[in-house]
């Protein structure tokens, strides 16, 4: 069993270095001005894993665009979950549940592809 948070964090670093084919905006909708101050050089996944996860995120975007936006805002752009919750005016727990659901979907897609 792999740690999906770590897998998604590696993918986020890979996608933020202009490798992703998912057409995410550099600033996710509603999050202008919330860019992180750090995280310039992060460890990345390899291209094979990145492309596979990219395809899974594209499938998620088709069915659950809000959860896809959450994944991109948190893992690619690097916005904290607390800042996302504050911007959406919901509790941290709600955002964490949405993130768990999105990561579960990605994990399921990866399992189906392997």
In a domain, 25, yes or no: no
H or E segment at 80? none
Number of domains, the chain: 1
Q: What is the pLDDT of residues 16-51, one digit of tens each?
A: 876 555 555 555 555 555 554 444 577 888 888 999
- Burial of residue 75 (CB within 10 Å: 0-12, 13-18, 19+) is buried
Q: Mean pLDDT over residues 46-73, rounded?
A: 91
In a domain, 38, yes or no: no
Buried/exposed code over 35-72 (b: 16+ C-beta within 10 A; e: otherwise): eeeeeeeeebbeeeebebbbebbebbbeebeebbbbbb
pLDDT the model gives residue 113: 85
Q: What is the CATH number of the domain that holds 81?
A: 1.10.10
In a domain, 74, yes or no: yes
pLDDT the model gives residue 9: 92
Residue 33 vs residue 7, higher pLDDT: 7
pLDDT the model gives residue 82: 94
In a domain, 35, yes or no: no
In a domain, 26, yes or no: no
Please report which residue ranges of 1-114 form alpha helices under DSSP H: 4-14, 47-63, 65-71, 81-88, 92-113
Question: Distance between alpha carbon 9 and the CA centroid of its chain, in Å?
Answer: 8
In a domain, 89, yes or no: yes
- The residue range of the domain holding 48 is 4-20+43-113
In a domain, 79, yes or no: yes
């Amino acid at each position: 069993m792999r740690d999906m948070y770590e897998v998604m964090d590696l993918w986020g670093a890979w996608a933020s270095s202009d490798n992703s084919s998912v057409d995410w905006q550099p600033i996710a909708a509603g999050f202008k001005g919330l860019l992180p101050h750090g995280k310039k050089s992060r460890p990345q996944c390899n291209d094979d894993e990145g492309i596979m996860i990219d395809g899974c995120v594209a499938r998620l975007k088709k069915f659950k665009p809000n959860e896809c936006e959450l994944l991109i805002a948190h893992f690619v752009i690097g916005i904290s979950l607390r800042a996302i919750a504050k911007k959406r005016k919901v509790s941290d727990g709600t955002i964490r549940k949405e993130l768990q659901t999105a990561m579960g979907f990605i994990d399921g897609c990866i399992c189906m592809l392997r």
